[in-house]
Amino acid sequence: MTQIEATLLGVMIATIALMIGLLTYLLSRGLLPLTPSGKLWDRVYELDKLVLAYPDVFVRFMQECPRTAPFFYADPSVVPRTRDFYQLKAFVYFHLNVFEEIFLTTEGSGWIARQFERSDWDSYILRKMRHPLIREVFNREARLIYPGRFREFIEKNRASIEKPVDPDAF
């Protein structure tokens, strides 16, 4: 084998390796978004599982739909700090965390946004945010807990979440 043949062989092997690397990269980029999308669906299903596992908490949550006065930040003499109180607050935090996760994950990738139907999920989040307990916690704690784009999205759509809650949204 001459030096020119050896050089050409080396160039061919390097080209093949480059093409395999490029193909691997493209395939991994195409499949990578499947993991976050699956995780988001799992989180939404977890909300449903909470309702099934703790129906009394959900009933109590739904009973608060017409509330106009503070609940979580009311004086303890008005709203006692009972087991129901803390279960409801945990339920609300879980909702807010799922909403933020949906928003941030779908915002970061056009592919995930299309697969996960981003605009429909934005509407879903805004409809659920109308619940007075969810809105109360968000209004009080958003700057501390949600300091980024999720809070900005909610603030930009403030008029939408200030509408009366639709109990059928849950």
Q: What pLDDT digit, counting tens, does each position of 102-138 carry?
A: 888 887 666 665 666 777 889 999 999 999 999 999 9
Is 27 exposed, middle or buried (CB count within 10 Å of its CB: 0-12, 13-18, 19+)? exposed
DSSP secondary structure code for residue 131 in this structure: S
Gap between the Cα atoms of 153 and 131, Å rounded: 17
pLDDT for 120: 83
Taking residue 48's Cβ as centre, other Cβ atoms within 10 Å add up to 9
Residue (of 159, 129, 133, 123) closest to 65 by Cα position: 133
pLDDT for 20: 78
Gap between the Cα atoms of 70 and 149, Å rounded: 26
CB distance 47 to 95 below 8 Å: yes
pLDDT for 61: 96
Taking residue 109's Cβ as centre, other Cβ atoms within 10 Å add up to 16
Question: Could you read off the pLDDT tens digit of each residue along the chain, which spans 170 residues?
Answer: 676 666 766 667 778 877 777 776 666 555 555 566 677 778 889 999 999 999 999 999 999 999 999 999 999 999 999 999 999 999 999 999 999 988 888 876 666 656 667 778 899 999 999 999 999 999 999 989 888 899 999 999 999 999 999 888 88
Phi and psi (nearest 5°) for 62? -70, -30
Structure token pair of residue 128: 């659920």
